[in-house]
Amino acid sequence: MSRTTRLIAALALSAGVEVAAVPATAAPATVPVASFGHHSPRIVQQWANAWTTMNPVAMSNLFDKNGVYIDHAFQASFTGPAGAKLWVELTADSINPAKVAVHDTIAQGNNIAVTWTFSGTFTGDSPFTPPYTAEGKSFAVPATSIITLRHGKILKIDDYYNLADILRQVGLPAGAYTPPSAP
d(CA 128, CA 139): 15
d(CA 110, CA 148): 6
Global pTM reads 0.75
Q: How far is CA 129 from CA 33, 73, 74, 95, 138, in A?
A: 41, 16, 14, 15, 18
pLDDT one-digit tens code per residue, 116-153: 999 999 998 877 777 788 899 999 999 999 999 999 99
Collect the ranges in the chain with pLDDT lower than 50: 1-38
